[in-house]
Amino acid sequence: MKIAVIGTGYVGLVTGVCLAEVGHHVTCIDINEEKVEKLRKGIPPIYEKGLDVLMIDNIDRNRLKFTTVHKEGLSDAEVVYIAVGTPQSADGSADLTYIYQAAKDIGEHVNRDVLVVTKSTVPLGTNFQVKEIVEDHVKGPFKVEVASNPEFLREGSAVYDTFNGDRIVIGTETEEAAAILEKINEPFDIPVLKTSITSAEMIKYASNAFLATKISFINEIASLSEKVGADISDVAKGVGQDHRIGSQFLNAGIGYGGSCFPKDTQALVRISEEVEHDFKLLKSVIDVNARQKTTLFEKAKKRFGTLKGMRVALLGLAFKPETDDMREAASIEMANALTAEGAEVIAYDPIAMENAKKVLPESVQYAENIENAIKDATVVFILTDWKEIKEKALLFSSLFMKKPIIFDGRNCYSQEETEKVQVEYYSVGRSAVNERAIHDSNKQLAASF
């Protein structure tokens, strides 16, 4: 099939590349010339495992093209995917500016009957607006159909997820439109759920809201566990072994971040308000997450009194491992709080440092490896559970720091391992380790700054 994809971000690029991989002829369109220039050379502008190989392969096979000229990609396309951003507006709702512009672009440039498929996460009713805008701008007697085909990929495993998804949701007004999308997706061999457009739009928000709820729930249990002396790792394991609950998304930590959960939970609250529904549960999920983001910093404040003048190592900057995405990363709030406190921050991330430099305070310094980040530091904060950080941070802290102290926002280590290497260790939902042994000497250390 001849397919156009508008937007080459995490979703558009992965979708375009994977559709080409299963045999479709795909043109990806983006307004960002620099991005398209890179893409044409086979260089993905994002870090995503396995994407570069598939991209180059499909460019070579002439099944995948990139352009900034909408007409080039749209005039001949039978199916057009919209995968532009839907960022959070000032009032929390989804900003649909890019969606409306993409719909206008489609209307102005298509030259045949077209099926417009929305992959972007959009509020209920948006697909009908897209249809209206496209119809208002088409320059011929072309039939316009729309479909909601929400995307469930996770950053860091986006290619894998596209070929191994749990379901493909197809929301359409007609059986014909659904049949076209089923045919396109047939090679992926993933179960298809056909629904109305509105239900498909709701499935995406409900899925993200539910996963965010699981995280805030386990973080609340973690806070409680700390107070009553339970261990959240054991608690989450025991809870998750119940198949009705499931073990995934029960990792307590410094809260959820990223390009989706924060904005999509806020957007769903706004969607609810528009129909006069007070979504109390989701509002609490958001509040708990906001509080969770500050817990590690508060613990450190309690431990030291002040962090003024201290050299603090931040390990892991991306919002999660295996991505260079800094959107709503916990490191942003932490770096801001530490800098405001007067701490000297030295940061390390295996992949996200270039992106981090654009959003972290200017005073933050960057180390080229874990060892350099921690060797002169008084305290280490772990914010992203990269494999490399999990493997090295504890050992290196015990070897290279004078009095090793770690605040771990991702529970990377067991209590036993930290006890063994004599590291003073604070995590989430578990009691502190080696706290008393060196507490007093460190208090004196803090007082000397």
Ligand X SMILES: O=c1ccn([C@@H]2O[C@H](COP(=O)(O)OP(=O)(O)O[C@H]3O[C@H](CO)[C@@H](O)[C@H](O)[C@H]3O)[C@@H](O)[C@H]2O)c(=O)[nH]1
Report, as residue numbers or ranges, the catalytic residues.
Answer: 260
Give the C-alpha separation, 435 to 119, whole Å.
Answer: 49
Q: Which two structure tokens, joined as six digits, stand for 155?
A: 């950053």
Residue 213 CB neighbour total at 10 angstroms: 17
Q: Is 263 annotated as a binding residue?
A: yes
Region of 111-119, 132-140, 254-262, 393-401 interacting with ligand X (CB under 6 A): 254-262
285 or 374: CB nearest ligand NAD: 285
Helices marked H in 305-412: 330-341, 353-359, 370-374, 387-400
Region of 24-32, 181-189, 228-236, 355-363 interacting with ligand NAD (CB under 6 A): 24-32
Is 313 in contact with 143 (CB distance < 8 Å)? no
Residues 259-278 that bind ligand NAD (CB under 6 A): 259-260
Residue 8 makes contact with ligand NAD by CB under 6 A = yes
Region of 23-31, 51-59, 163-171, 359-367 interacting with ligand NAD (CB under 6 A): 23-31
- R_g over Cα of the chain: 24
Nearest to 18 by CA among 47, 58, 46, 48: 58
Instruction: Report the length, in residues, of the chain.
Output: 449
Q: Is 445 annotated as a binding residue?
A: no
The entry of ligand X, ligand NAD, none that residue 171 binds, CB within 5 to 8 Å by partner kind: none
Residue 215 makes contact with ligand X by CB under 6 A = yes
Residue 153 CB, shortest distance to ligand X, in Å, is 5
The entry of ligand NAD, ligand X, none that residue 32 binds, CB within 5 to 8 Å by partner kind: ligand NAD
Give the C-alpha separation, 260 to 86, whole Å.
Answer: 10
> Could you say which of 151, 201, 226, 333 contacts ligand X (CB under 6 A)?
151
**Alpha-carbon dihedral angle through residues 55, 30, 169, 204, given to the nearest 10 degrees:** 120
Helices marked H in 156-196: 158-164, 175-185
Write the binding mask 77 to 116 for ligand NAD: x where contact by CB under 6 A, - elsewhere.
Answer: ------xxxx-----------x--xx--x-----------
The entry of ligand NAD, ligand X, none that residue 253 binds, CB within 5 to 8 Å by partner kind: ligand X
The residue whose two tokens read 């739009």 is 201
Evaluated on CA atoms 165, 171, 175, 176, the torsion sign reads negative
Nearest to 114 by CA among 95, 92, 138: 138
- By three-state DSSP, how is residue 86 classified? coil
Residues 256-275 that bind ligand X (CB under 6 A): 256-258, 260-261
Give the C-alpha separation, 188 to 423, whole Å.
Answer: 48
Give the C-alpha separation, 322 to 324, whole Å.
Answer: 7
Q: Is 162 annotated as a binding residue?
A: no
The entry of ligand X, ligand NAD, none that residue 256 binds, CB within 5 to 8 Å by partner kind: ligand X
98 or 407: CB nearest ligand NAD: 98
Residue numbers in the known binding site are 30, 35, 86, 121, 152-155, 204, 249-253, 257, 263, 320, 327
> Site residues (CB under 6 A) for ligand X?
121, 151-155, 208, 211, 215, 249-251, 253, 256-258, 260-261, 319-320
Q: Which residues are annotated as a binding site for substrate?
A: 152-155, 204, 249-253, 257, 320
